Structure 1
Amino acid sequence: MKKLKINAFYLVGLFLVLNSCTGDLDVVPKDDDVFLSEAFFAQPDAYRQGLAGVYGNLSLTGYGDAGSSFLEGIDAGTSQFSRCLWYLQNLTTDEVIWSYENDPGTKELQRNIWNASNPIILGMFSRTMGEVAFANEFLRQTTPEKLSGRGVTDATLLADIEDFRNEARTLRAFAYYNLMDLYGKAPFITEAAPLNTAGPQYDRPQLFAFIESELNAVLPNLKPARTNENGRLDQAFARMVLAKMYLNAEVYIGTNRYADCMDQCSQIIAGGYALRPNYLDNFKADNNTSEEMIFSLQSDGQVTQSYGATTVMINGEVGSLEANGASLGVGSGGWGGALRLRKQFVQKFDGSAYDFDARKTLSGGGDRTLEISDIANKDQGYILAKFSNISSGGIPGQNSTFVNTDFPLFRLGDVYLMYAEAQMRRDGATNGSNTANANSQSLTYINSLRERANDGNFANVTASDVTLDFIIDERSRELHWEGHRRQDLIRFGKYTGGTYNWAWKGNGANGIAISNNLKLFPLPAQSLAANPNLTQNTGY
């Protein structure tokens, strides 16, 4: 299958004319007249290359090497999209801890003591608003008027550009979805707004309504599931964002949308996806070929180099005691024990039912203790080996630092568990209850995952086993380190407060209660200073 090429070359046309500034987007176009010069559009495949730049903002940070960034004053490592997403959705939870707390922003995130000056919170907000800016400018440059003025008359090219525009609108909706989830508000700007506009503030209900309307508008015109070229989105991507919104609608807008979530999940499942027989193949250097992958963020050790989430995870998995880098396809020392597991996650796999579970890639015991009493001591805490820079055929990636492994943003295993949870909640299950009301379809989906992880053996659960507490634990067993955990804990009422604590939650070694305002991240201080329309979230 033809693959969308995402590399620094195709980003030059976008990045060179975007200026890091203190405006409403943090990143805004300098001047409509100089964006993507007419000479650029005279090139063969120019519009496709321009679209690659919009996608590329989610994988790369700048138009130089992996250390470059078009965001002024922000390090590339604290503004790469998947890495920031992973930090905010996983490092702030019970699944993982980062050893090097001198790295800017990490200590505050993993101890749940962040504030509006955190550089990673700024990096995510800026990178995501940058995605809005890129999508908007691509849409400005591909209007019928612009195309007519350039003499674009080829019917095939015009049809392709219309596809590109629908994908750009979907990527913009996805950016606003992340802003809604993480920050609860954002400056709202479309291609119709004048350049360098300080957009009005949209809150969660307003963002929810826009994203839902926008995705439903473009959905019929996106390519059907699994028919687009590798690296580009399709209808299943849009449905996945809608399903996530509907599953979390009570958090976002106080409204039950579980039946809508089930409908979107069913349509995704009908799109031709299938579980990869080997669970771990979804996290290897050729995971872009997995029939389970709905959409992944590209990583390539040669042409798409960044310090993104998979590079961080695979290098960080190398244990301080184990020197297991070669087994993961990176340098033998990796990053010297950068990542370890908090006790509460390890305990999700306690019991004989998980003795042979392929999802249990934990290593510990002996000199490696379960407890982490000192975060700086890299020998404390179990380690993980879920992600790898080696292909399913055993071939290592061509670069021992920058990995080939794509970040699995959306995959079928998540859809199965979303369906089951939405069905149970639709039919009356609530947080904290012992209601066990998974229907036969939900049980089929849950057991398909458990059988896959255990070669079809002795893993099945019955209706009486499946409560919502089971579901959230199963989500962690199936989806750990994939950018979902914070969102899940909030939806289940286990993130803030003290009903569920984990190691170093709230800056206590054994975990302490944290306040409800931490369900949202603060708007960065720089963004507030730049846009008078924005207001800070409560508690910051």
Structure 2
Amino acid sequence: MRLLNNIKQITLVALLGIGMESCLDLDPVIYDKIIPENFYKTESDAKAAVTGIYSPLGSPGDIYGGWTETFWMINNLCADDTGTQRDDYEFMEKFQWNSTTYAAYKFYNMFVKEANRATLVIDDLQKSPIDDDVKKQYIAELQCIRGQYLFFLYDFYGTANVTTDVEILRHPENEIILERLPKDEFIKLIETDLKAAAEILPVSYDDSEYGRLTKGAAYTILEKLYMQEKRWADAETYCRKIQGLGYKLQPTYSSVFSIENERNNEIIWALPCQSETNGNGNTWTTHVLPPELPSFWTNSKVQRWNVYNMPWKYYDHHFQQPGDERAMAPSLITEFEYISNGETKLASRNNGYPNLVKGALPVKYPEDPTQISEKAGNDVVVYRYADVLLELAEAINEQNGPTQEAIGLVEQIRARAGIPNTIPTTATASKENFRDFILDERGRELYCEGHRRRDLIRHGKWIQSAVDQGYIPEGREADYKHMVLFPIPQEVIDESKGKIKQNEGY
């Protein structure tokens, strides 16, 4: 726990209940005196405190913002579906991080702090005189948020030195040094939070509360944990629970992400965004678009930074099926016209404009006509139903092989993309073949959404993908196998006086 040096800060923020910049509608609430007698006496006090725990998740923020060193973009950049045009951002893409790389270790302390902060607010709510039903729902929401932060920790770093003991958190002067929890205890902590949250959380909220975590979100985080642990039966159980909540695929792929079709019922959890200059905006499109005026983008007020792309090798492997909507504009751009010195020119991979098209342009989010700067109003989609259907197909296949149900689930995704009845018979000839096909289908459906790194790790292809891209020398895979996890901050190790060990290999 870093000798609990940051617990004083955690405690103060939790007591104040201040929601920093957040995608949710929250006016800060500040109290003149912080004493139990005047704390969380009203539902508005409690709501402000709960909403504040969402703040790091907001976009553009440290977790789901489009900026290069966010949790979302590190997941993207070190997978094979996302490349960068900028040399100074290649250290994650090319597997060049080490134990001193800030972007690699920075989230450990953040996620530990946020999980502990949620624990303190839960404790305060339990003592609050507000209505019991309201209290239960807010506590469930906090358990879901804490479960999400803990899953983030587990995904990036393995286990961590978190605690749900409020007495330790409230008395940092004792300087208790906590060790990282054993794996089984850490997983149990995540499971307990998410299962308890799912029992209470609603399936949906009113529009004014959109963006808060729901029953479906709790189930989704839980089934993703089970997928990574290869607990296929458990993953299947919770995918099926999600199936029963009323989600459905949208008629077209691009409409899932369009601003005109926001809050559609394919989305399980999204972060609300606004295009105002000082709002919480989605900066993905700005990072992808090149500076020239492309013919497919009419809004001239949008800033264009030409930072991210989809490597051609990835594009060539995944998008060979004619008619696949996911490989077409406005979702994915392989060439475009632009005007230079009054002349219309074509930028493509083969015509001498390599600085514009080092890879395909994964625009993903259709145009927001109200965008006036780098921030679009398209909500950032975190979890969606198509992802869950593919994970359900994978979980079924791992237990029973390519059953008709599993094949049918994948077929639903492909039919929506405009390529029905095109799964080759060789893909369903064996469990192994279908496993590879599902991974490729996830690559076609979910590119640049932050899932690819985890998928490759689960399939045992994470390090091999770096070899295939030329970032790790062939034959030296064993020297890089530790990079399935990121390093623990050295300050945490130092302050633990040897109780906390660095992840193996760093």
Q: Look up the match of 1:57.
A: 56
Corresponding residue for residue 491 of structure 1:
458
1:401-420 to structure 2, matched below 5 A, reads 401-420=374-393
1:433 counterpart residue number: none
1:410 match: secondary structure: strand
Task: Please point out which of 348, 355, 359 is paired with 2:323.
Answer: 355
Secondary structure in structure 1 of the residue aligned to 2:247? coil
Is 2:359 the counterpart of 1:381?
A: yes
Q: Deviations for 1:348-384, whole angstroms, at most 9, x for unmatched residues?
A: 3443x2334244443336753279999xx45422222
Aligned to 2:438: 471
The 5-angstrom pairing of residues 200-279 of structure 1 reads 200-224=179-203, 229-250=209-230, 257-279=231-253
Q: How far apart are the structure 1 equivalents of 2:411 and 2:293?
A: 34
Structure 2 residue runs without a partner (length 5+): 18-30, 336-345, 429-433
d(CA) in 2 for partners of 1:304 and 1:240? 31
2:115 maps to what in 1? 132
SS of alignment partner, residue 409 of structure 1? strand
Q: Which has the higher helix share?
A: 2
Q: 2:82 & 2:448 partners in 1: Cα distance?
A: 8
CA RMSD of aligned residues (A): 3.3
Q: Are the counterparts in 2 of residues 183 and 523 from structure 1 also a CA contact under 8 Å?
A: yes
- Report what 1:536 is aligned to: 502
Q: CA-to-partner distance for each residue in 1:3-48, whole Å, 9 max, x for gaps?
A: xxxxxxxxxxxxxxxxxx9846688425599644367746772211
Deviation at 1:232, TM superposition (A): 1.5
Q: CA deviation at 1:172?
A: 0.4
Q: 2:157 aligns with which of 178, 183, 187?
A: 183
Whether 1:318 aligns to 2:283 is no
Report the alpha carbon displacement of residue 341 of structure 1 after superposing the two structures with TM: 1.5
How do residues 14-413 of structure 1 correspond to structure 2 at under 5 angstroms? 23=4, 28-31=9-12, 35-36=16-17, 37=31, 41=40, 45-59=44-58, 79-83=62-66, 84-102=70-88, 106-144=89-127, 147-148=128-129, 152=130, 157-190=131-164, 192-195=166-169, 196=172, 198-224=177-203, 229-250=209-230, 257-286=231-260, 288-302=262-276, 305-306=279-280, 310-311=282-283, 313-320=284-291, 323=294, 326-327=297-298, 331-335=301-305, 337-351=306-320, 353-360=321-328, 361-364=331-334, 367-369=347-349, 377-390=355-368, 396-413=369-386
Deviation at 1:481, TM superposition (A): 0.8
Task: Quote the offset at 1:205 in angstroms.
Answer: 2.6
* Alpha-carbon distance in 1 for matches of 2:493, 2:351: 40
Change (3 A) 1:539 1:26: farther
How many angstroms apart in 2 are the aligned matches of 1:27 and 1:473? Answer: 47
User: Retained in 1: the 8 A contact 2:439–2:455?
Assistant: yes
CA contact (8 A) 1:296 1:406 kept: yes
Deviations 1:199-257 (A, max 9, x none): 3312433211211122223322222467894211222111111111111114xxxxxx1
Residue aligned with 1:133, SS: helix
Aligned counterparts of 1:303 and 1:159: Cα–Cα separation in 2: 38
Correspondence for 1:525: 490
Between Structure 1 and Structure 2, how many residues are aligned? 459
Confirm or deny: 8 A CA contact 1:231 1:298 kept in the other structure: yes
> Are residues 140 and 241 of structure 1, via their aligned partners in 2, closer, same or farther at CA, if it must alter by over 3 Å?
same
The residue identity in structure 1 corresponding to 2:444 is: R
Question: Do the aligned residues in 2 keep the contact of 1:137 with 1:191 (CA within 8 Å)?
Answer: no
Shift of 1:113: 1.3
CA distance in 2, matches of 1:314, 1:265: 31
Distance 1:33 1:443 in 2: 48
Runs (5+) with no aligned partner, structure 1: 1-20, 61-65, 67-75, 251-256, 391-395, 428-436
Matched AA of 2:453: R
Amino acid at match of 1:346: Y
Per-residue deviation, 1:418: 0.2
In 2 relative to 1, CA 32–423 (structure 1 residues): closer, same or farther, beyond 3 Å?
closer
**Residue type of the alignment partner of 1:317:** V
What whole-Å deviation, never above 9, does each CA across 1:254-273 have from its counterpart, x for those lacking one? xxx11111111111011100
Shift of 1:538: 0.6
Q: Aligned partners of 1:279 and 1:264: how far apart in 2? A: 24
Contact 1:59 1:82 in 2 (8 A): yes
Output the CA distance in 1 between the equivalents of 2:489 and 2:117: 20
Distance 1:213 1:294 in 2: 21
> Which residue does 2:24 correspond to in 1?
none
Q: Deviations over 1:53-92 (max 9, x none)?
A: 11222116xxxxx7xxxxxxxxx6xx34455222222100
Q: Distance in 2 between matches of 1:364 and 1:478?
A: 17
1:324 CA displacement: 6.0
**Residue 426 to residue 397, structure 1, CA distance change in 2 (3 Å):** farther
| Residues 326 and 332, structure 1, Cα contact 8 Å, conserved in 2 | no
Aligned-partner Cα distance in 2 for 1:184–1:503:
26
> Quick one: distance in 1 between partners of 2:261 and 2:116?
30
Q: Secondary structure at the match of 2:268?
A: strand
Could you tell me whether the CA contact under 8 Å between 2:115 and 2:162 is conserved in 1? no
- Distance change >3 Å, CA 27–CA 99, structure 1 → 2: farther
Check 1:362–1:232 CA distance in 2 against 1; reply closer, same or farther (3 A cut). Answer: closer
AA matched with 1:183: Y
Structure 2 CA distance, aligned partners of 1:132 and 1:81? 17
TM-score scaled by structure 2? 0.81
Return the alpha-carbon distance in structure 2 between the equivalents of residues 261 and 332 of structure 1.
41
Measure, in 1, the Cα distance between the counterparts of 2:333 and 2:476.
27
Deviation at 1:132, TM superposition (A): 1.0
Instruction: Output one character per residue of 1:103-134: Cα deviation in whole Å (capped at 9) or x when no partner.
Output: xxx33211101012222223322332232133
